[in-house]
Amino acid sequence: MRSTRTKFLVLAALVGVWVLIFGLRRSDEPVRTSAPPQAGARPARTSASSSAATPRLKAELANLPRAPYPSEVQNIFSPPPPPLPPPPQAVRPPGPAQPAVPPPDPFQEEAKQLRYVGFLRSGNVLTAFIVQGQEIHSVPVGDLLGGRFRVAEVQEESVLLASPAGDKQVRLELSAVAAATAVPRVPGPPR
């Protein structure tokens, strides 16, 4: 009995709060008495405070004339129409055929993964510092780098790498990133 009475009191209190909120909200709104909007006329704007408090429905959009229905009725349950045929290909006039682009050279592609970061002169021996991924290799002139590149020539600005057979060559320029963090050079005899 006591729990039913408590539930009834809570319900009555909530209904009272709801009536109070509803009554206060209605008393704040100004009373409007205006003629219905005419077709093509823009409705008059009210104060910013009342329009910001309660959003209004734009009823004039409901009075616009509707677009006519399409003349062909489409059955939405029928299978879709077949796809359109592809556009015709442009016919090339007979003439010399375009040469096919040769595939990239694996030697050149692998060389793109290398960076020349500096050199060391020790007596008459020049050693190039080459970065491959996260590894730094020091390779003297004439030695192989990874069994794939032979260091043919070392200069301050570049290094010349050749294939072990010597039939292919690639020149690596000094990396701009490496120039800022280059290994200090050991002074050697003047050239």
What's the confidence (pLDDT) of residue 89? 81
Instruction: For residues 64 and 44, give the distance between their C-alpha atoms in angstroms, rounded to a whole number.
Output: 19
Instruction: For residues 98 and 96, give the distance between their C-alpha atoms in angstroms, rounded to a whole number.
Output: 6
Specify the pTM.
0.42
Q: Does 185 score more than 50 pLDDT?
A: no
Q: Does 162 score more than 70 pLDDT?
A: yes
Region 5-33 average pLDDT: 83
What's the confidence (pLDDT) of residue 184? 43
26-36 tens-digit pLDDT: 765 665 555 55
CB atoms near residue 168 (< 10 Å): 15
Residue 36 main-chain phi, psi, to 5 deg: -60, 150
Q: Residues 144, 152: contact at Cβ < 8 Å?
A: no
What's the confidence (pLDDT) of residue 70? 72
End-to-end CA distance of the chain: 110
Q: Does 8 score more than 80 pLDDT?
A: yes
Three-class DSSP labels, 96-137 = CCCCCCCCCCHHHHHHCCEEEEEEEEECCEEEEEEEECCEEE
What's the confidence (pLDDT) of residue 46? 53
84-93 tens-digit pLDDT: 888 888 777 6
Name residues whose C-beta falls within 8 Å of residue 137's C-beta, 6 or more positions apart in sequence: 129, 130, 131, 145, 146
The region of weakest confidence among 6-20, 82-96, 177-191 is 177-191
Instruction: For residues 66 and 63, give the distance between their C-alpha atoms in angstroms, rounded to a whole number.
Output: 9
Mean per-residue pLDDT over the chain, rounded: 79
The DSSP bridge pattern shows strands 149-154 and 135-140 to be unpaired
Region 55-75 average pLDDT: 78
For tokens 């409901």, the residue is: 62
**Residue 103 — very low, low, confident or very high, per pLDDT cuts 50/70/90?**
confident
The region of weakest confidence among 12-16, 50-54, 116-120, 123-127 is 50-54
Give the CA distances from residue 8 to residues 19, 22, 26, 33, in Å, rounded to whole numbers and listed in that order.
16, 21, 27, 41
Residue 50 main-chain phi, psi, to 5 deg: -75, -35
